[in-house]
Structure formats: C-alpha cells, structure tokens
Amino acid sequence: MTLTTNPFDDDKLREECGVFGIWGADNAASFVALGLHALQHRGQEAAGITTFDGRHFHSHRAMGHVAGNFDRDDIIRKLAGRAGIGHVRYSTTGETALRNVQPLFAELAEGGFAVAHNGNLSNAMKVRRTLNRRGSIFQSTSDTEVIIHLVATSARSGTLDRLTDALKQVEGAYSLVVLTDEGLVACRDPLGIRPLVMGKLGEATIFASETVALDVIGANFIRDVEPGELILVNDSGIRSFRPFQQVEPRPCIFEHVYFSRPDSIAEGISVYEVRKNIGAELSRESPIDADYVVPVPDSGVPAAIGFSQASGIPFELGIIRSHYVGRTFIQPSQDVRHMGVKLKHNANSALVDGKSIVLIDDSIVRGTTSVKIVQMMRDAGAREVHMRIASPPTRHSCFYGVDTPERAKLLAAQMNVDQMRDYINADSLAFISIEGLYRALGQERNNALPQRCDACFTGAYPTTLTDVADKERAASLSLVASR
Ligand SMILES: O=P(O)(O)OC[C@H]1O[C@H](OP(=O)(O)OP(=O)(O)O)[C@H](O)[C@@H]1O
Ligand SMILES: NC(=O)CC[C@H](N)C(=O)O
Ligand code: SF4
Ligand SMILES: [Mg+2]
C-alpha cells in the first residue's frame, strides 16, 4: 500500500459547491457576487454568475476565486438585471475546466434556462448515455448538464413541470437555483442532502447554500428550503410546490462537522455550537490528561474549544496557520518542496516545548495533515502528542457533492485506529463515535433509518448508486472476460 504524505497533495476531502440566487433587487449581480464571496469556502476552483434583465440573460464564468473575477466593475456592469444566480465550484463530476463552470445556460424552446447546482447526481452517467443515444449533444462533462437535457426533452409543458419531470429521473443530491424568464426557482432533492436556505432583503427574495451568504448582504433568514420542496419566485409572488413523493430527509451530517462555516445556522442550529458539542462529547468519550488542548486550525478550532471547556484542560494556539496559503498554491520545484511543509501550519514552539498536548482536528481523510502536524509538534519539543478527531473514521467515499478521494486512499479504509495511531506517530488517537456525533446534534441515531446521511462514516448510502453499480458490474465482467 502506498500512502502519500506530500504536503502539497491536497487530493483529500475537499469542500463542495455553493449556490446563490436573488430575485427582485436592482443590480442583482453585485448581491450575487457578495453572496458567493461568503460561500467561497465551499468551492475555490471556479465561479460564475448569470443574470436576467427581463429580456436577456447575461453570464460570466471564470476559473479561480470570486475576488479577482467578480469584484471588477466592468464585469458586474455587464451582468444587468434584477435577478441573478451564482455558483462557486469544487468539481465532483467533470474536469476543472471552463466548460463545466456553473451556472450552466441553454436556450430552450420555452426560453433561457440557467442552473447552479450543489450536489452530485449518482446516475448522471447512465442518464447521459441514454440522452446521448437519443441525440443530445453535451457541451460539458458535468453531471449538472443532464438536468438541462432532461428539461429540454421533457414531454411536459411549462418550465416547472418540465423541471419536475427532469428531476424525477435523477438520483442523488441536488440543491438547485434555476433562472428562467418565468422566475427564479429553488429546489432541494427529496432527501435534502445538501442545504439551501431562503432569505429576504426588502422586496428581494434570496436563496443560498448557507446563512452566511444572507448575513453578508444584510438579508434576513426566513427558513430552510425543505427537502423535496420547489419554490418559484417572480413578480407575482412566491409559490411553494411539493412535486416529489415524500420520504424521510437525510441531510448531510458532514456539513456540521466541516463544510459549513461556523457562523452559519444549518437546519436551525448554530454550526459553531454543534462543533463545540462534538468536542465536549469527544472529551467525555475519550478523555486524556494533557497540558493543553491545541486545535488544528482553522476547522478544528470550535471542537477544541468544546473539548477544553468540557475537560478543563486549557485551550492554547500551539499551531499558527498562514491565511495566505490557498489550495491553488503553485507547487515549487522538488528540491524546495520540503520547505513547504510549514507553509500552511507552523508550530508555536515557545508554547509547545516540553508540554503534553492533545490535538483536535475535524477529520482524517488521507492522513496527510495529521502526519505533518504530529511531527511538527514533536519537532517543537512536545513531550506527548495525543490526537482526538471530531468525526468518526472516514471509511467511505461521498457521491453527493463532496470530492472525497477513492476509498483506497482513505486512511481509515486501510487501517484500524491503532494502525492509524502508529502511522501518524501519535501517543494516542481516538475518534468520536457515530452515536456521539448524533448526540452533539441533539439526536439519538436511528440505526434502522438514520436521520441523516452519514455514509462516509457508516457506508449507509441513502440512495441507490447507479453509476457506481454500473462501473462495478462492468469491471467484474471484464475480469471474467480476461480469465
Ligand atoms: O487527512 P487529510 O487528507 O489531511 O485531510 C483532513 C484535513 O483536511 C481538512 O483540512 P484542510 O487543510 O483541507 O482545510 P482547513 O484549513 O479548512 O481545515 C480537514 O480539516 C483536516 O484537517
Ligand atoms: N461540489 C458540487 O456540488 C459540484 C456540483 C456538480 N456536481 C459539479 O461537479 O459541478
Ligand atoms: S457521504 Fe458524507 S459527506 Fe457525503 S453527503 Fe453523506 S455525510 Fe455528507
Ligand atoms: Mg483542517
């Protein structure tokens, strides 16, 4: 087995996408740009905005961050209109290239249709093959584009019915904002795997992946878009529809652990509070004697505060993070790579030297971060280095909009906890239990039908995984054929 610990190898659990939509505000594009800026943590590969001025659609899509692309007056001025949608992307299906940057747009028989999608369709390949055979010509390799072709070829009439018809043929996760000349549509898949909230700013209606995108423009949070709900907003008002068969929702539990910003309110609860609760649960489940609780910044901070408060061990910043290291950092040549180990994180040696510390991080995916940080603490003179993780071992891949590496690269899919402890060279290692994680959210896990998607920890996927099954079947057939 080869496991990489290259500090620049960031092929790990990446975040996902962020969507934003607004109807009824002058200069809608500038609000979309601000909203996307607040959602930047959800996707840093590319960003895009599409607006509608009552007659025409305008679109700008670019690789890279929101800042640098959408803080330019000339670009925002071209995006005219009182309605707009936007997207920040981390790819899950389709390569990182301009043709896959959202919103995707098409001129359909009934008018313009722009869509921004957070999530991932687990039968996109199969649907695409069928559409291809019927003559659909795809412009991108993104899963999201199948929605456009299904709408375009639907036998129903009216945008909403055609969209509903399309969505009934896809499987997986989708939180969508759609812009047509009939209005702005927001929709969440029946399981509500990915989040979507609704807000108001004066007369304008807003949809966003997280409440922080409402905060940034001074909008009020109204409510979550419900799982399986489709909302149409236009100048005649707001209408809610329930076009899908109702099922028990399964929102993503990892949003609370890592993806969402701590200042967001997700499913009506403060992400920050939940993360502190997780830390407190962790300290009760796996207590340890140490001089300091040290977070792996930034995402380990709230759980470390909770761990410290519940255990009484002082919280200290034993690792300082540079805020100038992005994931797009250009890799230096081989011979200076080792210097980069300390680019993102550096030990606060004056504090750590001679002390026993308990490190808190939100997750271990490939183990890259843990190996690096534990060694850094030892080099700084730490006497003992214990590690506590604010999520259960990540053993399975996500097929719902998070770019997890394949299973073979997940450390916890390869090793048990003792082996992982040795691998990261910690004095002790413990993960919160799945039950403890639910407790931190104020719930008891229903093992027969979990209240959430927790598949990356448990393997309990809430949908069928058509494309995965097809791939496995094809692989086993070729294995038989080669015998
Ligand atoms: O085991 P690994 O493969 O290293 O992945 C796990 C790490 O990845 C994430 O941090 P990341 O550095 O991506 O971003 P953050 O600054 O938001 O914590 C996460 O918070 C863990 O620290
Ligand atoms: N992370 C996401 O939500 C990605 C959305 C879509 N599946 C894409 O790859 O563009
Ligand atoms: S598999 Fe994990 S990351 Fe993906 S939706 Fe489910 S809980 Fe969230
Ligand atoms: Mg981290």
Which domains are assigned to the chain? 18-251 (3.60.20.10), 271-458 (3.40.50.2020)
Is 17 among the catalytic positions? yes
Asked whether the predicted pLDDT for residue 82 surpasses 80, the reply is: yes
Distance 361 CA to ligand 4 centre (A): 6
Look at 326 and 234; give whichever has higher pLDDT: 234
The residues whose Cβ lies within 5 A of ligand 4, an ion, are 299
Distance 394 CA to ligand 4 centre (A): 14
Predicted confidence at residue 342, as pLDDT, reads: 66
Q: Is the CB of 472 under 6 A from ligand 1?
A: no
Distance 61 CA to ligand 1 centre (A): 27
> Which of the following is catalytic: 17, 114, 167, 233?
17
Q: Is the CB of 362 under 6 A from ligand 1?
A: yes
**Residue having the nearest C-alpha atom to atom 14 of ligand 1:** 299
Look at 2 and 49; give whichever has higher pLDDT: 49
Predicted confidence at residue 326, as pLDDT, reads: 57
Give CA torsion, residues 453, 282, 269, 176, to 10 deg: -30
One-letter-per-residue 3-state SS of the chain: CCCCCCCCCCCCCCCCCEEEEEECCCCHHHHHHHHHHHCHHHCCCEEEEEEECCCCEEEEEEECCCCCCCCCHHHHHHCCCCEEEEEEECCCCCCCCHHHCCCEEEEECCEEEEEEEEEEECCHHHHHHHHHHCCCCCCCCCCCHHHHHHHHCCCCCCHHHHHHHHHCCCCEEEEEEEEECCEEEEEECCCCCCCCEEEEECCEEEEECCCHHHHCCCCEEEEECCCCCEEEEECCEEEEECCCCCCCCCCECHHHHHHCCCCCEECCEEHHHHHHHHHHHHHHHCCCCCCEEEECCCCCHHHHHHHHHHHCCCECCCEEECCCCCCCCCCCCHHHHHHHHHHHEEECHHHHCCCEEEEEECCCCCCHHHHHHHHHHHHCCCCEEEEEECCCCCCCCCCCCCCCCCHHHCHHHHCCHHHHHHHHCCCEEEECCHHHHHHHCCCCCCCCCCCCECHHHHCCCCCCCHHHHHHHHHHHHHHHHHC
Note the pLDDT tens digit of each residue in 372-405.
999 999 999 999 999 999 999 999 999 999 888 7
Best of 99, 100, 143, 399 for a ligand 2 pocket test (most atoms within 8 Å of beta carbon): 143
pTM of the predicted protein model: 0.94
Q: Is the CB of 254 under 6 A from ligand 3?
A: yes
pLDDT > 90 fraction of the chain, expressed in percent and rounded? 85
Q: Is the CB of 437 under 6 A from ligand 3?
A: no
Q: Is the CB of 454 under 6 A from ligand 3?
A: yes
Does 470 count as an annotated binding residue?
Answer: no
- Atom nearest to 143 CA in ligand 2: 7
Note the pLDDT tens digit of each residue in 46-81.
999 999 999 999 999 999 999 999 999 999 999 999
Residues within a 6 A CB radius of ligand 2: 16-17, 89-94, 100, 102, 117-120, 142-144, 401
Predicted confidence at residue 332, as pLDDT, reads: 44
Best of 40, 299, 301, 410 for a ligand 1 pocket test (most atoms within 8 Å of beta carbon): 299
Give the confidence band of 481 by pLDDT, cuts at 50, 70, 90.
Answer: low
Say if the ipTM goes beyond 0.95. Answer: yes
Give the confidence band of 483 by pLDDT, cuts at 50, 70, 90.
Answer: low
Distance 46 CA to ligand 1 centre (A): 20
pLDDT (mean) for 240-245: 97
Does 187 count as an annotated binding residue?
Answer: no
Does 26 count as an annotated binding residue?
Answer: no
Does 433 count as an annotated binding residue?
Answer: no
- Atom nearest to 13 CA in ligand 3: 3
Asked whether the predicted pLDDT for residue 11 surpasses 90, the reply is: no
Q: Is the CB of 362 under 6 A from ligand 3?
A: no
**Residue having the nearest C-alpha atom to atom 1 of ligand 2:** 16
Best of 13, 15, 16, 17 for a ligand 2 pocket test (most atoms within 8 Å of beta carbon): 17
- Atom nearest to 366 CA in ligand 1: 3
Contact 160, 113 (CB under 8 A): no
- Atom nearest to 120 CA in ligand 2: 7
- Which two tokens mark 434? 């799945």
Predicted confidence at residue 13, as pLDDT, reads: 57
Does 456 count as an annotated binding residue?
Answer: yes
Note the pLDDT tens digit of each residue in 206-236.
999 999 999 999 999 999 999 999 999 999 9
